Chains A and B, each alone.
Chain A
Amino acid sequence: MKRLFAAAAFAALLFGCAETPEPSVRYVDPGALGEVAGTGLESQDIASAAQKAAQSIVNLPAIASAAKPPMILIAPVTNRSASPIDTDLYTTKLRGTLMQYAPGKVRFLARDAAAKANEREQELRESGAVQPGGTAATGRVGATYDYVLTAEVRGISTSSKRGQSDWFLVAFKLVDFQDVLLWENQYEVKKEGRENAIYR
């Protein structure tokens, strides 16, 4: 009888164990940089390409031997890859990197950043509401550029059951006001990654 009781208790224990407690969950910021990443283009890739481009641009004879630093308009980065990117952010990053690596050799036109504010200021000056340095306004003439720097991202992306691969080509072009291509350079980034089987 004692043994039967023990067997019954053992059976009850088994049933009790059928519902195991859920494992604890670790709470982390979903926006934090994880241990693994994707194969898409990131801002540091653009910065790295921009750094190389800046070094190349300042060594161009037309730039290096110019009597005064030429004015460059940086056109918004265009994206023809299969990876959505924040083109505004990348344009800003590109300009910032070029400013850092080509100081004094070139000047950059920031029409996207200040044109509207300058136009509004001009209206105020013309109306007499504000006066630069206490003198009457004589009209605003915005600067123009000598060259346009374009940056285009293209890419080939593939995915398979095992993972993903992204190859990006960041192509820079420096074009003068007569549409003459002065300089072109390309930078490649290739990333590959494997996906865990539990996601495949």
Chain B
Amino acid sequence: MTRRQIGLAALVAAGLTIFSAGCAGAKHLSASGTEIPDEAWAAAEARVREEGIPPALELEVIGLYSEGRQNSVLHAMRAGLTAIRIGRFDLAKRFFDRAIPEVEALQEGAPQAERAKSVFVAEREKWFKGEPYERAALYFYRGLLYLRDQDFDNAAACFKRSQLQDLRGEDANIPSADWGGAEWGLALAALKQGRPEEAAAALARAAKFPSRQGDFPAPRAEQNLLLVVEAGQGPIKARGGRQGEALFYSELPLLIPKVEVRRSGALLARAAAAENLFFQASTRGARAADRILAGKADFTEGAGAAATVLGVAAVGTAISGQSDIAAGALGAAALGSALASASSRPETDVRRWDNLPHSIFLIGLTVPPGRNVLEVIGLDAAGRPAENQTFDFHAPEQPHAPLSLCFLRF
């Protein structure tokens, strides 16, 4: 090849690279990595505009409307939490209520779930329902929204359901259903309904949980403000193992293990986190899905090894000139094995509810009617103020003031 030819080839290759990169950038990919048809994306965009979805939620809601059931729960979870943070509780309820029936739908025998077990189908193609900590978080946040609506019946139901979703594997040395935050919420809902025994039972259970991060004050019936303080980044899912079949969690350490609330400098409450989501995710234990994925990884490796051996044998036979037919047969077998290996999808699903916090603090307060300027201070491990936020809370004057909820994020 001449120098001119090499230069021309390089130019063509560069042009092709730029062209293909340009094409790739124009396509919309789903959370599962599949291409979203332009018409589906456009229809979702139009619907989002029509519904007046706030800009902060647009992308997730477009995903919700355009990616079908494969990712509807994922986008609904993310959109619901963002909606809470921007004060659009109506939308938060709508999105969470859309996710809940999908999470509750049991999938034994469902074609989409059976398909995801196939060696040639990636786990990320199953309809996303989240891992137990994500499902528990869904009910936990929905429970908080019911508290805000003074619907203590359904709040309690959600907190109970949160615990039911928190399942661990047999090898886990920590029991299932150990969401301290859910028991705290259940206790508050029970107190608001005049059932102190139920509240005491919930708090007694929470006191024994290994997930407990420290002391946090118990709720009281007369409290009129619940501060929900979210801090840090939620668990990050990562692939490990020989073929990416193993699911691991990584953590961005929490910098504020305690939070205190002050009014005019006076300490009102100090609390450790009621819930640590990284702890909940990372103590899950073995999953049945892990065995399925390990089987897929074994297949991938086996087929790959067979392809190598058969391929080498085919080349050897061809070079030695022993038999064209034998070389062809070996080549075909190698090709089949290689195709099987290359087509297998053992990698674990790392789609995640990515705007969950690392930890959640729950602080119940009784504040007098009228304006209250409250300072919320995040304390570092040494107990020094690390971050703070100030906000105004106007407590209603009425004698039986409703419970107000205030969401803050560090």
Q: Cβ of A82 < 8 Å from any Cβ of B?
A: yes
Interface pick from A5-13, A48-56, A107-115: A5-13
State whether B107 touches A196 (Cβ < 8 A): yes
Docked-complex contact B335 and A196, CB < 8 angstroms: no
Q: Tell whether, in the assembled complex, residue A3 and residue B110 are in contact, meaning their CB atoms are under 8 Å apart.
A: no
Residues of B within 8 A of A179 (CB): none
B153 at the interface (CB under 8 A from A): yes
Contacts of A40 in B (CB 8 A): 104
Given A38-B101, A84-B161: A18 and B342 interface contact (C-beta under 8 Å): yes
Docked-complex contact A200 and B288, CB < 8 angstroms: yes
Nearest-neighbor residue (CB-CB) of A10 within chain B: B331
In the bound complex, residues from chain B placing their C-beta under 8 Å from that of A100 are none
Tell me the bound Cα distance from A85 to B342 in angstroms: 47
Q: How large is the interface on B (under 10, 10 to 19, 20 to 34, 35 or more residues)?
A: 35 or more
Q: Which residues of B contact A161 (CB under 8 A)?
A: 167, 169-170, 288
- B289 interface residue (CB < 8 Å to A): yes
Cβ–Cβ contact B327 & A3, under 8 A = yes
Task: Tell me if A39 and B104 are in contact (CB < 8 A).
Answer: yes
B239 contacts the other chain (CB 8 A): no
- Could you mark each residue 6-41 of chain A with 1 if its beta carbon is under 8 Å from any beta carbon of chain B, else 0? 110011011001101011111110110011111110
Query: Contact between A193 and B106 (Cβ–Cβ < 8 Å)?
Result: yes
A65-99 vs B, Cβ < 8 Å mask (1 yes, 0 no)? 00000000000001111111101000000000000
Specify which chain B residues have a CB less than 8 angstroms from the CB of A199 in the assembled complex.
Answer: 107, 113, 126, 129, 289
Q: Which residue of A lies closest to B110 (CB)?
A: A36
Check B102 against A17 for contact (C-beta < 8 Å): no
* CB contact between B70 and one of A11, A25, A36, A160 (< 8 Å): that residue: A25
| A117 interface residue per 8 A CB criterion | no
Q: Counting CB contacts under 8 A, is B311 at the interface?
A: yes
A-B contact pairs, 11 of them (CB 8 A): A17-B339, A30-B64, A35-B110, A37-B106, A82-B161, A84-B100, A84-B161, A87-B151, A87-B154, A158-B164, A193-B106
The 9 closest A-B pairs by CB, nearest first: A38-B104, A82-B160, A193-B106, A3-B318, A194-B108, A196-B113, A200-B288, A30-B72, A196-B107
